[in-house]
Amino acid sequence: MSETLMDQDSTKLQAEVERLAAELQEAIQENVQAAQYGLAVLEENEELKQRYGDLEGQLEVLHLSPLLLRLKAGEQCGENNPSI
């Protein structure tokens, strides 16, 4: 009878080991997925920062364009009318 109890305990322990191993695999997979998601977020963040910088540059050009056009128009007026 003692051997039967030992077999039962052994079976229970083996089942517990298998359950814990499965949980560990699941946790590892979740960590891998979280890491992949985190990397994707970081990459997207970097792309958005680059796009933001590009848009800021375009905005600056758009703000300067009217000023440059007025300056250019003023230069042309000065060339056409030397008395100014």
Q: Enumerate residues 6+ apart whose C-beta is below 8 A from 62.
A: none
Identify the three-state secondary structure at position 25: helix
Mean pLDDT of the chain: 90
Instruction: Quick: pLDDT tens for 8-25.
Output: 899 999 999 999 999 999
Of 17, 20, 24, residue with least CA distance to 9: 17
Q: Enumerate residues 6+ apart whose C-beta is below 8 A from 78.
A: 84
pTM for the structure as a whole? 0.60
Residue recorded with tokens 């030397």: 82
Of 35, 30, 8, residue with least CA distance to 22: 30
Instruction: Quick: pLDDT tens for 26-82.
Output: 999 999 999 999 999 999 999 999 999 999 999 999 998 888 888 888 887 876 666
